Amino acid sequence: MHKIILYFLVLAAILDVGLASYDSPRFLRNQPRSVQQGYYAIANNTQLSLNQKQMELRQWAQGHNLLNQYITFDQKQSQQELQMNQATDRIISQLPSVKSQLKAILDQDNLTGAQIQQAVGQLAGRYPQQLATLMFIREDIQKQFTEDY
């Protein structure tokens, strides 16, 4: 019973957070298709190191009079990467506390299913990414246990 309630709560939290989608750089939006294809040919080239890719993209941008726009885009991407790393560190640092709170809820045998759902829902409201991460880990471990039977 607990597992079903938790599964739906975590699913709702994940859907509420949403999934990030890749969006085309703005400086490419009004460019001819051939210019866009040139950019993506470099950006998606898995044979290039990150340094090589960055150097080739700068050269490409300069050749298409887009260097300032590319530099602005690149700086914004770097800033977003830094912010994502900081957010990831924050989320990870909160996992032990959220795990303890979840365990405290699940260990209360005197709660009804509705009360458990409400308590876990409140926890998911405060810590959606942390709870989703913990539930992913729990489900993965649960699969290991059920494979043995």
Output the DSSP codes for 81-128.
Answer: HHHHHHHHHHHHHHHHHHHHHHHHHHT-TT--HHHHHHHHHHHHHH-H
Mean pLDDT comparison of 1-5, 22-26, 81-85, 135-139, highest-scoring range? 81-85
Residue 93 has pLDDT above 60, yes or no: yes
Whole-model pTM: value is 0.64
Q: What ranges do the domains of the chain cover?
A: 2-26+94-147
Residues 43-91 pLDDT 10s = 999 999 999 999 999 999 999 999 999 999 999 999 999 999 999 999 9
Question: Angle between the 2-17 and 113-126 helix axes, to the nearest 10 degrees?
Answer: 30
Rounded CA gap, 4 and 87, in Å? 29
Q: Whole-number mean pLDDT of the chain?
A: 88
CA distances from 62 to 7, 39, 68, 130, 134 (A): 51, 12, 8, 43, 46
Can you give the pLDDT at residue 123? 97
Residue 17 has pLDDT above 80, yes or no: no
Is residue 56 within 8 A of residue 42, CB to CB? The reply is yes
- Sorting pLDDT into bands at 50, 70 and 90, what band is 19? very low
Can you give the pLDDT at residue 23? 62
Can you give the pLDDT at residue 8? 54
Can you give the pLDDT at residue 145? 82
Residues 28-40 pLDDT 10s = 999 999 999 999 9
Can you give the pLDDT at residue 37? 96
Kindly report which listed range (4-8, 65-69, 82-86, 96-100) carries the lowest average pLDDT score.
4-8
CA 111 to mean position of chain CA atoms: 33
